[in-house]
Amino acid sequence: MTLIFAGKGRGIVKRQTGYNTKQKDAILGYMAALDGAHATASEIAEHLAGTDTPVGISTVYRQLERLVGLGLLRRYYVDGNTSACYQYIGEDGRGAEHFHLKCEDCGGVVHLKCDTADKLKGHIMREHAFHVNAVKTVFYGRCEKCLKQN
């Protein structure tokens, strides 16, 4: 079966997703609407609890596994955390690769979409013959909110 999404800034996205269920459609639709942001399984279940299609946490995990297997979502772990984050990766299956910033005070994670960071990745490849995996790269420090508190 084919799902069609009209994503923000994305135009129409068509993807073969295999057998469809309302739960799978709801999860995939929510993830696509996040416009590249990540979410945990519990965040997804919490969001869907307030919709016409509430989905239990075990079903969320089962559907997330299927969607990762279909190449529609990316699963990653930040800081060795055992709780995975998921991200919709777009119609081409790659999504926008980007670095992450993790606050050492509040634990917040920010997606770093920045031309300078991309140039750093390119520099490391050209000058040091080393390919940096941006999806798995995390810079640690303190976020703006935590800096203001101290």
Q: Which amino acid is at 41?
A: A
Residue 50 and residue 114 share a domain: no
In a domain, 94, yes or no: no
pLDDT given at position 6: 44
Domain boundary among 56, 88, 120: 88
In a domain, 57, yes or no: yes
pLDDT given at position 61: 94
Residue 106 and residue 67 share a domain: no
Domain boundary among 37, 55, 88: 88
Q: Return the residue matching tokens 């799902």.
A: 3
Residue 54 and residue 31 share a domain: yes
Domain boundary among 64, 88, 112: 88
Q: Which amino acid is at 75?
A: R
Question: 65, 89 in Cβ contact below 8 A?
Answer: no
Which among 8-17, 44-53, 81-90, 107-116 has the top mean pLDDT?
A: 44-53
Average pLDDT on 70-86 reads 79
**Domain span including residue 125:** 99-149
Determine if the pTM surpasses 0.85. Answer: no
Whichever domain contains 143, its CATH number is 3.30.1490.190
In a domain, 93, yes or no: no
Whichever domain contains 21, its CATH number is 1.10.10.10
Residue 104 and residue 84 share a domain: no
Calpha distance 75→77 (Å, rounded): 7
Provide long-range contacts, Cβ within 8 A and 24+ apart, for 113-122.
113/36
Structure tokens at 121: 């990745």
pLDDT given at position 57: 94
Q: Which is higher by pLDDT, 2 or 47?
A: 47
In a domain, 54, yes or no: yes
Residue 81 and residue 11 share a domain: yes
8-66 pLDDT, tens digit each: 444 444 445 456 789 999 999 999 998 777 889 999 999 999 898 889 999 999 999 99
In a domain, 107, yes or no: yes
